[in-house]
Amino acid sequence: MRALFPSIALALAVGLSAGSAAAAGANATKDEATAMVKKGVAFIRSSGKDAGYAEITNKAGKFTDRDLYLVVYGLDGVVRAHGANEKMVGKNLIELKDVDGKAFVKERVDLAQSQGTFWQDYKFTNPVTKKIEPKQMYCEKVDDTVVCGGIYK
């Protein structure tokens, strides 16, 4: 029995490390986030806001991939679409702050108005791990909204 224990322990260790490596590779990249936002912007422009926001909010739709999803905020801070939490749609989150006290929605709206296209850093709950993690969000202003998709670091 003792001779089997090291083999079992080794097999478990290899299996666990392989699982961790697979999980680490499952995160979206900056290029994927940028491409997803551009795809979402094009979809909104071609299909209209109602259809675009509905598709972005659909968790099983084309704008959700692993930990990458899109959100759309009005420049007033009201959520128009949210790929990870449809309960946020219609809520004004302009005063929402991350765990460090950063008013990231207000900052996002301000950056959209001043720059149009930008990357933003803050902390947010990862829908896959359910943990608060550093996040980088790529955003593009579209009319009176900002369309964003981000990566967890």
Flag whether 77 is in a domain.
yes
Q: Residue 74 is inside which H or E element, if any?
A: strand 68-74
DSSP H helices, the chain, are: 4-24, 30-47, 49-57, 104-114
Q: What's the number of CA atoms in the CB half-sphere (13 Å) around residue 133?
A: 16
CA 114 to each of CA 75, 91, 117: distance values in angstroms, whole numbers, following the listed order: 12, 23, 9
- pLDDT tens per residue across all 153 residues of the chain: 444 434 333 333 333 333 333 344 588 999 999 999 999 999 999 999 999 999 999 999 999 999 999 999 999 999 999 999 999 999 999 999 999 999 999 999 999 999 999 999 999 998 889 999 999 999 999 999 999 999 998
The region, left, alpha or beta by phi > 0 then psi within -120 to 50, assigned to residue 34 is alpha
pLDDT at 25: 56
Specify the number of domains making up the chain. 1
Flag whether 62 is in a domain.
yes
Flag whether 22 is in a domain.
no
- CA pair distance 30, 121, nearest whole angstrom: 12
Q: Bridge-partner residues for 117, per DSSP?
A: 140
Q: Is the pTM of this model over 0.75?
A: yes
pLDDT at 1: 46
Domain with 55, as residue range(s), is 28-152
Sign of CA dihedral 111, 67, 87, 54: positive
Domain of 97, CATH number, reads 3.30.450.20
Q: What is the Rg, in whole angstroms, of the alpha carbon atoms belonging to the chain?
A: 19
Flag whether 63 is in a domain.
yes
Flag whether 127 is in a domain.
yes
Flag whether 3 is in a domain.
no
pLDDT at 127: 87
Flag whether 16 is in a domain.
no
Flag whether 5 is in a domain.
no
